[in-house]
């Protein structure tokens, strides 16, 4: 009886043999062992499958008409020197196999080969390949900077734990549920999970779950093939779409599903408004974002970062931040979390420090309206009251710009010098 391999990040085997009957029999053996068999009848046919990031190993016959196993080995090493090649040899081919090993073959097996021995060698080769690919991924990640450190700010133990959870979620292929209070940055953390995963080079498609139809969900899955699909605020997802998502997860998806929720989904399950089976499928790997009230020590770091961003956006120098301002910020609970702190930073940059301490008392809509109004006024001031130039500086269509001026009662002529 064939034993199954333990779960591996890569399960692909490129099987090369000119004998169709042998190729078919070996292919069935590999599939019974839950491996993804890709077959080729010659060096030329196999060549099309070999690439530097080929996510598998090669199992090839030594003797083939035309270009044989040596040619295949040499080509594979030229493309990727760390791509494992396992060779199948006949009784008289042992000296050739030993030579192949000295030239870089991973291993060789004498035909006919026992299934258990074949699986043992392939398991070693697959684990070796998986390790090589993972090391390369981590190296690329280091070269472009660790997204978890670059995009999730703070030094508190709570944030360090968050980064650890993000990294753990990234290395799995399981579904992920990112949770946190409103304004805590759920979409951003979901994107970090994607960027740090093996799918990080693929698309990151995000969409609010509210109003999502089964048909649109299927289209999004197609757009996110090879990447990740982030569905935010899952509690607002229509019931029929919940069933569609569950069905897709059970069938298997080429897009990794990452869910986001600012409410306790277990309560929605208990109340009957959220599908229990879908909840347990998505809750395989949970990443919880701590609120600002739980990590007050990070508020100065975040505020300085947001002030720098706001100053760059407004086109002015960032003002100095006094210890008293930071102490005042740390004393607040910030129910709006990162979003409200961000709007407070914008007001601070625009010269309204007396309003910063009031930021946590305002609703998100009020805060965003204040920031938008301040940006419009700042742009008009820089452009000497010229509305067209201010609209262009803010990258807004003129009609949209004038609509916003009317909404806030702003007159361009008041800002002409």
Tell me: the pLDDT tens digits for 319-378? 888 777 777 788 787 888 888 888 888 888 887 755 555 554 555 566 667 667 767 877
pLDDT for residue 4:
37
| Environment class of 225 (CB within 10 Å of its CB; exposed 0-12, middle 13-18, buried 19+) | middle
pLDDT digits (tens, 9 = 90+) for 388-410: 888 888 888 888 888 888 888 88
| Cα(119)–Cα(308) distance, integer angstroms | 56
pLDDT digits (tens, 9 = 90+) for 204-223: 999 999 999 999 999 999 99
| Number of other residues whose CB lies within 10 A of the CB of residue 156 | 16
Q: What are 287's strand-pairing partners?
A: 178
Closest listed residue to residue 164, CA positions, set 189, 200, 139, 199: 189
**Ranges of each domain in the chain:** 12-140, 147-290, 294-415
The dihedral sign for the CA sequence 184, 202, 37, 131: negative
The dihedral sign for the CA sequence 168, 290, 264, 336: negative
Given a contact cutoff of 8 angstroms between Cβ atoms, the answer to whether 411 and 386 are in contact is: no
Q: What are 405's strand-pairing partners?
A: none
pLDDT digits (tens, 9 = 90+) for 221-243: 999 999 999 999 999 999 999 99
pLDDT for residue 53:
79
pLDDT digits (tens, 9 = 90+) for 32-41: 988 999 999 8
- Helix (H), strand (E) at residue 215: helix 214-223
Is the pLDDT score of 100 beyond 80? Answer: no
DSSP state of 33: T
Kindly indicate whether the domain formed by 12-140 is annotated with CATH number 3.30.1330.20.
Answer: no
The CATH homologous superfamily to which domain 147-290 belongs is P-loop containing nucleotide triphosphate hydrolases (3.40.50.300)
DSSP state of 316: S
For residue 406 the two structure tokens come to 């009317």
Closest listed residue to residue 306, CA positions, set 326, 327, 335: 326
Has this prediction a pTM greater than 0.85?
Answer: no
- Helix (H), strand (E) at residue 22: helix 20-32
Closest listed residue to residue 173, CA positions, set 197, 151, 192: 197
């Amino acid at each position: 009886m064939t034993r199954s391999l333990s779960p591996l990040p890569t399960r692909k085997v490129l099987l090369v043999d000119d004998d169709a009957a042998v190729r078919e029999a070996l292919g069935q053996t590999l599939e019974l062992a839950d491996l993804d068999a890709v077959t080729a009848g010659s060096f030329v046919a196999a060549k099309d499958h070999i690439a530097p990031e080929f996510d598998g190993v090669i199992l090839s016959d030594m003797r083939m008409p035309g270009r044989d196993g040596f040619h295949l080995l040499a080509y594979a090493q030229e493309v990727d020197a760390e791509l494992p090649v396992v060779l199948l040899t006949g009784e008289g081919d042992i000296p050739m196999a030993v030579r192949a090993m000295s030239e870089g073959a991973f291993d060789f097996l004498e035909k006919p080969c026992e299934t258990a021995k074949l699986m043992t060698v392939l398991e070693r080769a697959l684990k070796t390949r998986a390790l090589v690919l993972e090391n390369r991924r981590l190296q690329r990640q280091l070269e472009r900077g660790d997204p978890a450190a670059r995009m999730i700010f703070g030094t508190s133990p709570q944030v360090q734990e968050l980064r650890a959870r993000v990294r753990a979620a990234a290395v799995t292929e399981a579904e992920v549920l990112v949770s946190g209070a409103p304004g805590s940055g759920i979409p951003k953390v979901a994107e970090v999970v994607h960027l740090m995963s093996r799918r990080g080079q693929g698309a990151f498609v995000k969409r609010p779950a509210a109003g999502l139809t089964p048909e649109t969900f299927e289209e999004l899955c197609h757009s996110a093939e090879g990447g990740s699909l982030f569905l935010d605020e899952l509690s607002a997802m229509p019931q029929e779409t919940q069933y569609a998502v569950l069905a897709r997860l059970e069938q298997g998806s080429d897009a990794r599903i990452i869910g986001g929720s600012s409410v306790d989904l277990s309560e929605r399950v208990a109340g009957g408004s959220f599908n229990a089976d879908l909840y347990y499928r998505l809750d395989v790997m949970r990443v919880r974002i701590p609120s600002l009230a739980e990590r007050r020590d990070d508020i100065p770091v975040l505020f300085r970062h947001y002030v720098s961003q706001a100053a760059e956006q407004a086109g002015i120098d960032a003002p100095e931040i006094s210890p008293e301002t930071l102490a005042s910020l740390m004393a607040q609970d910030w129910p709006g979390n990162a979003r409200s702190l961000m709007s407070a930073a914008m007001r601070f940059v625009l010269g309204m420090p007396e309003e910063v301490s009031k930021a946590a008392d305002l609703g998100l809509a009020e805060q965003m309206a204040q920031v938008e109004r301040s940006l419009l006024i700042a742009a008009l001031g820089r452009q000497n009251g010229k509305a067209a130039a201010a609209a262009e500086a803010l990258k807004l269509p003129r009609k949209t710009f004038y609509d916003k001026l009317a909404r806030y009662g702003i007159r361009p002529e008041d800002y002409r010098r």
